[in-house]
Amino acid sequence: MAVAFSTNVTQVENFNGSVAKNITVSGANPVLIVDIAINDATATVTSVTWSLGSGTTVEVKTARGTEAFASVWAVPAPAPGAGTLTYNLSATKNNTGNISLYTGADQTTPCPLADAVSSVAQLTSETLTPANLTASDAAAGHCVATVSGDVTGVTPNQDFLDIGADMDMGAGHANGTTGVTFAYADTSSHSAKVAVRIAAAGGGGGAASGSIPRSLRMIGLVNA
């Protein structure tokens, strides 16, 4: 089963310490990917929760370029239905968010921490490619810019672009082994970018503890 983008809900630039967005989870082997951008030198994301219950949420990767902060979280195995995704900040600051539903994802460790990548380079274009991508996986990421130098786009699949008064955010995804490319109007932005691997179900994102590969059982190398 290959990872597939399903739908997303977004939050344009706002000044709050907590944001709640409604989204409906459906499909086989779902995962919620939460992209959060903050315009501040020290503020962080303290928690992400799914109202209907889920596996353990985890902050997969962060990057801070001066006051531009990017954080991406994964919500494994979210219970299906119409619920509320809430993210909380350590302080009330300007922030922007994108919540995306993917199907076909590993239900234990959909986004291995070691595979995620980040950058704070001030470039007009940069591609972030998570490690260990396979043809059945997907890459997802976002960028944030403050000061100046608007974010101009995300490729190959742009899911959200918000050009705000004090900060910009772009989010998108790619399928298979392709990375996500972020573009800026110029290099004067204080920018931060993150991208994560979304591992396909059965694709090595995180096998259940104590499980024995079927191939080994079949050839008799271990006792079934």
Comparing 87-91, 146-150, 152-156, 204-208, which segment has the lowest mean pLDDT? 204-208
At 212, list the tokens. Answer: 């024995």
Q: Are 112 and 197 in contact (CB under 8 A)?
A: yes
d(CA 45, CA 121): 22
Q: Are 180 and 127 in contact (CB under 8 A)?
A: yes
d(CA 55, CA 30): 11
Instruction: Flag whether pLDDT at 213 surpasses 50.
Output: no
Instruction: Supply the DSSP string of the chain, one letter for each residue.
Output: ---EEEEEEEEEEEEEEEEEEEEEE-SSS-EEEEEEEEESSS--EEEEEETT--S--EEEEEEEETTEEEEEEEEESPPSEEEEEEEEEEEEEEEEEEEEEEESB-SS-SS-GGG-EEE----SEEEE--TT--TT-EEEEEEEEESS--EEEEESEEEEEEE-SSEEEEEEEEETT--EEEEESSS-SEEEEEEEEEPBTTTTS-PPTT---HHHHHTTSS--
**pLDDT of 38-86, one tens digit each?**
999 999 999 999 999 999 999 999 999 988 999 999 999 999 999 999 9
Q: What is the pTM of this model?
A: 0.90
Query: For all residues of the chain together, what is the average pLDDT?
Result: 90
For 127, residues 6+ apart whose C-beta sits below 8 A from its C-beta are 179, 180, 181, 182
Q: Where are the domains of the chain?
A: 4-202
At 33, list the tokens. Answer: 């990917």
Q: Minimal CA–CA distance to 72: which of 153, 2, 160? A: 160
Query: Quick one: pLDDT band at residue 147, thresholds 50, 70, 90?
Result: confident
Q: Minimal CA–CA distance to 83: which of 142, 22, 139? A: 22
